[in-house]
Each structure stands twice: as C-alpha cells, then as structure tokens.
C-alpha cells in the first residue's frame, strides 16, 4: 500500500477512534447530573474504555451525549507526527502528510446491543463471511481485485483502534467502525453499496446496532441521502 495511503489511514483511524471514545467513556461520569458532566474536570477523570457488558448496557445514555458531535469536531485533536515515524523511519521533512487529503470519509458504527460484547471469534467469523481481510495497520480491509487500495476498512471502535493479531481468543470490544475514504479504487456509489451491505450483514452476525457518522441510528432517510450524495460525487468526478 502506498505511503500516502498509509498516512491517511492513520489519520482516519485517529478520527473515528477519538469520536468513538465518547461511546466508551467513564461509567462513573454517566451517573453524575448533566450540569456536573459539563465541568472541565470531567475530562481529566475520563478513563480508557472497559470492554465489558457494561459498555453496551449504557448505550442509550452514551448516544444522548453524542448529539451535535461530528468527526470534524474531533479531527483537530489528532497529532500525526507519530504516524509518520511509524510508517516512514528516518528523518522527516514535514509533519504534514504527503499527497492530498481524502475528499470525504464515510463512516458507519456497529455498536453491540443487549448487554453483548463482540468477541474475537465472532469478529473473525463476521469478517470471513463478508469478504474482509486482515492487513495493513492491523485492521480489516475490503480490497478489490487488481488494486492495493481498500474500498473500505474496519477498525476497533475502542482505543487504540487496531486489533492484536495474536489475541483473538481473549479479545472483546463494544463495537467496530467501518469507514470509506473518497476518492477510492471504485466508484463512490459502488463503494457505498458494498460498505452498506457489509455493515448490515455484520450487524446481524455481531448483534449490533448500526449508527451513522453522527452516532445516530441509521435510517432509510439517511441511506437515501448518502446514495444521492455518492451519485453526485461520481458525477462531479466523471
């Protein structure tokens, strides 16, 4: 995979993981009144997510906190200097990634429901059934024949975002995130149709709820809107 693509995958993963931290925040914080949750000291009390049944049980409360938060809101928090060190050893001329940024990133979250957690065995089975491959960045990808670029990818929705290759027997998480960067190796509409079909199938296998990029329940109206946006994107690029 090209160095530029690897760099932007790091950025994309960072965006979706920082956003997904809101799903798996400190349970103690959830029990405080809303007024106290807005205090700055709540930020310092946030702990890393715990991947147990409690995360899924608190889905409704978490979703209420996510209203109005977008991927753009968290993108400014990212530091990509470390990403360059990992992908390109040796001296670096700039902290900015080479090549253009993606025009757009399409994101779907799959959040486990009914006090359920997603195990490594379940995730591997879902990936196998939907034609995804474990690869670069220790995440899953859908790569079309004859291309090195993924149509879309799947990361862990909990920090640190990747999957440990040798820990599938003990792995558990509360959710995963599928994302597609545009432009990609196929038409935007074809990529979206493939992403959506994969997300729906995986949501059945993993007993997960499907949420849109704003962490709201994914609706038919949102689906139709995105399909039209993908058509328009392809028209502009043709």
CATH assignment of the domain containing 155: 3.30.1400.10
Looking at the DSSP bridge assignments, the partners of residue 209 are 111
Q: Rounded to whole angstroms, how far apart are CA atoms 84 and 90?
A: 10
Q: Rounded to whole angstroms, how far apart are CA atoms 35 and 55?
A: 22
Other CB atoms within 10 Å distance of the CB of residue 66:
17
**How many distinct structural domains can be found in the chain?**
1
Report whether 66 contacts 50 (CB < 8 A): no
Cα–Cα distances in Å, from 153 out to 50, 131, 142? 23, 11, 6
Other CB atoms within 10 Å distance of the CB of residue 18:
18
What pLDDT is stored for residue 85 in this prediction? 33
The residue with tokens 């470390």 is: 82
What is the chain's length?
238
The set of residues, in sequence order, having a beta carbon less than 8 Å from that of 120 and lying 6+ positions away, is 167, 168, 169, 170, 171, 172
Q: Rounded to whole angstroms, how far apart are CA atoms 154 and 139?
A: 6
**pLDDT averaged over 10-residue windows placed end to end, the chain, 238 residues:** 59 62 46 43 42 44 42 35 36 49 94 90 94 94 92 93 90 95 96 97 95 94 96 94
Cα–Cα distances in Å, from 224 out to 26, 192, 195, 196? 35, 11, 14, 12
What pLDDT is stored for residue 46 in this prediction? 42
Report whether 16 contacts 140 (CB < 8 A): no
The set of residues, in sequence order, having a beta carbon less than 8 Å from that of 5 and lying 6+ positions away, is 148, 149
The residue with tokens 């196929």 is: 186
Give the residue from 167, 176, 174 showing the smallest Cα distance to 132: 176
How far, rounded to the nearest angstrom, does the alpha carbon of residue 62 sit from its chain's CA centroid?
A: 16
The per-residue b/e assignment along 110-128, b for 16 or more CB within 10 angstroms, e otherwise, is bbbbeeebbbbebbbebbe
Q: Rounded to whole angstroms, how far apart are CA atoms 157 and 42?
A: 21
- Which domain covers residue 117, as residue numbers? 3-237
Give the SS3 label for residue 210.
strand
């Amino acid at each position: 995979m090209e160095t530029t693509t690897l760099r932007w995958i790091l950025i994309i993963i960072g965006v979706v993981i920082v956003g997904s931290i809101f799903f798996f925040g400190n349970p103690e914080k959830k029990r405080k009144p809303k007024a106290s949750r807005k205090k700055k000291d709540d930020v310092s009390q946030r702990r890393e997510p715990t991947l147990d049944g409690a995360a899924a049980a608190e889905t409704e409360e978490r979703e209420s906190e996510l209203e109005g938060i977008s991927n753009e809101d968290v993108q400014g928090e990212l530091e990509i200097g470390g990403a360059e060190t990992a992908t390109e050893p040796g001296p670096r001329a700039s902290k900015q990634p080479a090549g253009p940024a993606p025009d757009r990133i399409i994101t779907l979250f799959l959040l486990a429901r009914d006090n359920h957690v997603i195990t490594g065995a379940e995730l591997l089975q879902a990936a196998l059934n939907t034609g995804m491959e474990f690869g670069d960045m220790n995440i899953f990808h859908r790569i079309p024949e004859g291309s090195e670029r993924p149509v879309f990818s799947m990361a862990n929705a909990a920090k640190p975002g990747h999957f440990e290759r040798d820990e599938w027997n003990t792995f558990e998480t509360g959710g995963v995130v599928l994302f597609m960067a545009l432009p990609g190796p196929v038409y935007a509409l074809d990529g979206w149709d493939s992403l959506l079909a994969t997300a729906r199938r995986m949501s059945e296998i993993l007993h997960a709820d499907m949420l849109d990029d704003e962490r709201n329940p994914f609706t038919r109206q949102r689906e139709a809107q995105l399909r039209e946006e993908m058509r328009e994107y392809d028209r502009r690029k043709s």
